[in-house]
């Protein structure tokens, strides 16, 4: 089933994933009637990327806050499909917990209310692998799926907000709409997303440049994960949207969550970064700088220091227990359920994803090197 003639709203459209979703919607062979790109701000580079596609689909740029109910009501007028990828990602604790909840949970709930009042029929939520874990004990999962039983533990604010927002989305599936139909929702849980423009990958590149082009190792070689290319997770959203419009497939999709991966190799985070950049002369540290237990003790020491300094200054440690657990827990999932239920297949092979990402790394490395050197001076 195509998306021809549909009006779609994409939230977080100025972000790493959101703008890729917008581009793929604008590239659809059977044109949508309109794509509304919503975010608080758009870089000039992102707007140029949209313009360069020269799509005949109407593109409407909407700048506003996901916490603004009146703005959201205007944004969804006449819309049939919402792809909600807007959120604040924070694993270090840089963002106040209340702000995380207001945007990730409160903003999602306000958007859902606006959709129901305006008879929006389809809603796809971009969730996160962190909804599943890993838990604070670091229990591993190897090639898990949607039926895998896993003990989730609270305590990581970002994971908690994504879990609560996903729950809000899926619970509303099946609610009656004014035209006699019902609200259709689903959630996609991507693995760690990589690709050109990734802010997290750029951070690792910067760290490696400062370390003589050697990636820091904070993840054990045994801690295998399976990242997903940004073009493939964006494509999964479009394939899920098509399934929602298909009378036969919608029954399997509605009210469900799906893990989205691709055929990228299963490696630790550090080794995966190295795999993307090794042909450009980047190396990776062979082992952890200190035993993992010592790193956990170090993280605890930094947490105590942060607590003691709180009356005087806000100090956010560069590493914490959650990050260490995230980076050092084997945690891989299969995308077979998504393949079965709505026909998800990666749009880009691993070779293509690696080539695109490596080309981007090669392009940004000289400018990042110059910038970082100037800061040191």
What average pLDDT does the segment 20-40 reach? 96
The one catalytic residue in 122, 125, 158, 348 is: 158
Higher pLDDT, residue 155 or 145: 145
At residue 91, the pLDDT reads 86
Is residue 363 in a domain? Answer: no
Q: Which two tokens stand for residue 338?
A: 């998504």
Cα–Cα distances in angstroms (integers) from residue 48 to residues 55, 61, 113, in the given order: 13, 12, 32
- What does the DSSP 8-state code read for residue 176? B
Interval 3-27 mean pLDDT: 97
Report the mean per-residue pLDDT for the chain. Answer: 94
CATH number of the domain at 257, please.
Answer: 3.40.50.720
pLDDT of residue 7: 97
- Expressed as residue numbers, the domain containing 165 is 7-198+225-266+332-349
How much is the pTM?
0.95
Q: Is residue 260 one of the residues assigned to a domain?
A: yes
Residue 361 has pLDDT above 60, yes or no: yes
Q: Find the range with the poorest average confidence among 81-85, 151-155, 352-356.
A: 151-155
pLDDT of 252: 94
Per-residue pLDDT reduced to its tens digit, 81-113: 999 999 999 988 888 899 999 999 999 999 999
- Using pLDDT thresholds of 50, 70 and 90, give the confidence band for residue 372: confident
| Nearest-angstrom CA–CA distance, 250 and 254 | 6
Question: According to the model, what pLDDT value does residue 316 have?
Answer: 85
For the cut 60, the answer to whether the pLDDT of residue 377 exceeds it is no
Cis peptide before 134 (omega within 30 of 0): yes
Token pair of 254 as six digits: 């509605």
Residues 6 or more apart whose CB falls under 8 angstroms from that of 106 comprise: 67
Q: Determine the Cα–Cα distance for residues 16 and 266; give it in Å rounded to an integer.
A: 22
**Of 373 and 105, the one with more pLDDT:** 105
217: in domain: no
Contacts of 63 (CB under 8 A, 6+ apart): 38, 39, 40, 41, 42
307 part of a folded domain = no
Active site residue 158: yes
Instruction: Single out the residue of 354, 326, 204, 347 nearest to residue 265, CA to CA.
Output: 354
For the chain, what is the domain count? 1
What's the whole-number mean pLDDT along residues 206-216? 95
């Amino acid at each position: 089933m195509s998306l021809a003639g549909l009006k779609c709203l994409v939230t977080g459209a100025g972000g790493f994933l959101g703008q890729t979703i917008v581009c793929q919607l604008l590239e659809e062979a059977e044109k949508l009637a309109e794509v509304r790109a919503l975010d608080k701000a758009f870089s000039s580079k992102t707007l140029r990327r949209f313009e360069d596609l020269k799509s005949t689909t109407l593109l409407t740029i909407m700048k506003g806050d996901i916490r603004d109910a009146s703005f959201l009501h205007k944004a969804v007028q006449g819309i049939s499909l919402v792809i909600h990828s807007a959120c604040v990602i924070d694993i270090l604790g840089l963002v106040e917990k209340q702000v995380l909840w207001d945007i990730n949970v409160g903003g999602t709930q306000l958007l859902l209310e606006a959709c129901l009042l305006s008879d929006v029929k389809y809603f796809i939520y971009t969730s996160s692998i962190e909804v599943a874990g890993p838990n604070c004990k670091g229990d591993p999962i190897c090639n898990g799926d949607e039926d895998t039983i896993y003990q989730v533990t609270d305590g990581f604010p970002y994971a908690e907000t994504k879990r609560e927002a996903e729950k809000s989305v899926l619970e509303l599936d099946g609610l009656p709409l004014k035209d006699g139909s019902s609200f259709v929702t689903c959630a996609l849980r991507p693995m760690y997303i990589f690709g050109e423009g990734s802010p997290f990958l750029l951070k690792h590149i910067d760290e490696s440049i400062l370390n003589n082009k050697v990636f820091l190792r904070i993840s054990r070689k045994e801690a295998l994960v399976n990242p997903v290319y940004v073009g493939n997770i964006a494509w999964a959203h479009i394939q899920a949207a098509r399934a929602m419009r298909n009378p036969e497939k919608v029954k399997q999709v509605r009210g469900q969550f799906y893990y989205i991966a691709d055929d990228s190799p299963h490696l630790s985070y550090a080794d995966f970064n190295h795999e993307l950049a090794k042909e450009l002369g980047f190396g990776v540290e062979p082992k952890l700088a200190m035993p993992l237990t010592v790193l956990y003790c170090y993280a605890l020491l930094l947490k105590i220091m942060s607590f003691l300094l709180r009356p005087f200054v806000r100090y956010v440690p560069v590493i914490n227990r959650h990050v260490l657990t995230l980076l050092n827990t084997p945690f891989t999932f299969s995308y077979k359920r998504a393949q079965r239920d709505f026909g998800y297949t990666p749009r880009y092979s691993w070779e293509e994803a690696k080539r695109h990402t490596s080309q981007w790394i090669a392009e940004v490395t000289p400018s990042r090197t110059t910038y970082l050197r100037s800061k040191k001076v």
